Amino acid sequence: MIEPPYPNLDDLLRVMGETGRHLADIGASEGAAGNISICLRWPLEPRTHFPVVDEIELPQPVPELAGATFLVSGSGRRLREIIAEPAAHIACIVVNEGGKTGKLFSAPERRFAHVTSEFNSHLAVHYDQICKSDTNFLAVIHAQPIHLTYLSHVPAYQDELYLNTHLLRWQPETIINLPEGIGFVPFRIPSSAELMSDSVLPLRKHRIVLWAKHGLMARSDISLKRAVDLVDYAETAAKYEVLNLLLGERAEGLSAQEIRSICKTFNVEQNIF
Ligand SMILES: [Zn+2]
């Protein structure tokens, strides 16, 4: 939930650009991989940046989100290039009354035909989260950081408890920032209805989920930067884990007792360790 004064369109586009650049910098968005969306429910005038208007059908009906505004990265666009020319890479969708269709606002210089093909998963997560919490803001990121994605190919790490007890042991900050741990979604075809439906429930419990053999999805109702932080914490944990595997598992990591002590000191509720 965001309190007024609300960020304006320029602020939001700038942060989407910085997010795209950061995801590329950490190796989580090669080529045109990865996508970003934010949903906001305060009044915003899209025509200043996006004067072209089209009617679109939404991937699923979202009647409770009538009037909500989405900013979404365009299909096939490189996240690292948003920052130089946001309006060419991002579309603005305002949900029509009834929630089945929307107005897609874009710029004359737009370089995509459609919004990201993963918008169905993004919209499903926005819809579920917003209906549940009534938040006026939600950010959702899909990215493909190398170490996390690599570990998602290793059968042992496809077990959620194994994944979390091994990844959350490398730095004291990790359990503090990911107290619910990282969720796990078995492999589903990219952009599919199965990936969409199977992401919603895990993202209720977890703020970040690993999509097996593909990447991750992270959400925040505070800011887009907060969602990026989750990606950073999870990917750093995976880097330590891969480093440990490469060096013959010489390190112990924080013990379960040490992690429980950290949680006690910082009042963190968790049930992983
Ligand atoms: Zn992807």
Whether the full predicted model's pTM is greater than 0.85, yes or no, is yes
How many residues does the structure list for the chain? Answer: 273
Ligand 1 midpoint to CA 188 (Å):
11
Please report the DSSP string for 102-130 in residue order: EEEEE-TT---SSB-TTHHHHHHHHHHHH
**How far does the centroid of ligand 1 lie from the alpha carbon of residue 171, in Å?**
27
pLDDT value of position 34: 96
140-181 pLDDT tens trace: 999 999 999 999 999 999 999 999 999 999 999 999 999 999
Between CA 166 and CA 172 the distance in angstroms is 13
How high is the pLDDT of residue 216? Answer: 98
Task: Give the pLDDT band (50/70/90) at residue 223.
Answer: very high
Residues contacting residue 22 through CB under 8 Å, at least 6 positions apart: 228
The Å distance, Cα 34 to ligand 1 centre, comes to 5
Rounded Cα distance between 245 and 239, Å, is 10
Distance between Cα 273 and ligand 1 center (Å): 31
What's the pLDDT score for residue 14?
98
pLDDT for position 129: 98
What is the 146 CA–ligand 1 centroid distance (Å)?
12
Confidence band (pLDDT; 50, 70, 90) for 273? Answer: very high
E strands in 74-194: 90-95, 101-106, 137-143, 183-185
Our separate counts of H helices and E strands in the chain read: 9, 9
Confidence of residue 15 (pLDDT cuts 50, 70, 90): very high
Question: What pLDDT does residue 120 have?
Answer: 96
